[in-house]
Amino acid sequence: MNLDTRKIYDITPTVSPKMAVFPGDTEYENSYLMSFEKGDHLSLSKIQTTVHLGAHADAPSHYHASGVSIEARDLNLYLGRAQVITVTEKRGHRIALSDIKTEILAPRVLFKTNSFPDPDHWNTDFMALSIELIRHLHQKGVRLVGIDTPSVDLADDKILEVHNEIYKADLAILEGVVLSEVPDGVYELIALPLKLKGAEASPVRAVLVQI
């Protein structure tokens, strides 16, 4: 894959202290231990944050007691052909199979809902996925599902019904991507999680490369 001649869509929201996180989760904080402004010979900083920050990959250990953590996930899940599909339903809606008006053409599917438009502003009425949709995608050979919202489940779902259905199907999850500038179609996805020992998720730098 020659990236020099292909258009790259950066689908990662910019991480900053303004970025919204699930209420009660740990916001992003960056503090400097050394800086040129203080007369130091280099700049050195540290961060404190949730691992479910912006564009991120959930590991099975996030939603199932027997699930593996993020460093144990197969990286092939997060690399390869991915299809962007726009869904134009009302906010707070679980995307049903009947809402999908196009054929599934890739083993990774990213849903563009435009229902969480500002990563720096929290809204609870974003769209989510449905169990029937996950079952259909699994039957079609899909290995990863993604969405442009903070979660594949609704904001107030304490059961995590879709996360649990995804666990049964052993799919990968990519949440919090920004797809507003990406036309529907098939791309090459690169969204590698960090190798965080024991972590239940990881931020990613997610990009789509035009084929």
Catalytic center residues: 62
Q: How far is CA 83 from CA 26, 91, 199, in A?
A: 31, 22, 27
| Strands laid side by side in the 201-203 sheet | 8-10, 207-210, 185-190, 79-86, 108-112, 144-147, 172-175, 56-58, 201-203
Which pair of structure tokens corresponds to residue 137?
Answer: 């995608």
Q: How far is CA 202 from CA 161, 162, 174, in A?
A: 21, 19, 10
DSSP label of 177: -
Exposed e or buried b per residue across 84-98, where buried means at least 16 C-beta atoms within 10 angstroms of its C-beta: bbbbeeeeebbbeee
Vertex 45 angle, CA 23 and 52, to 5° = 30
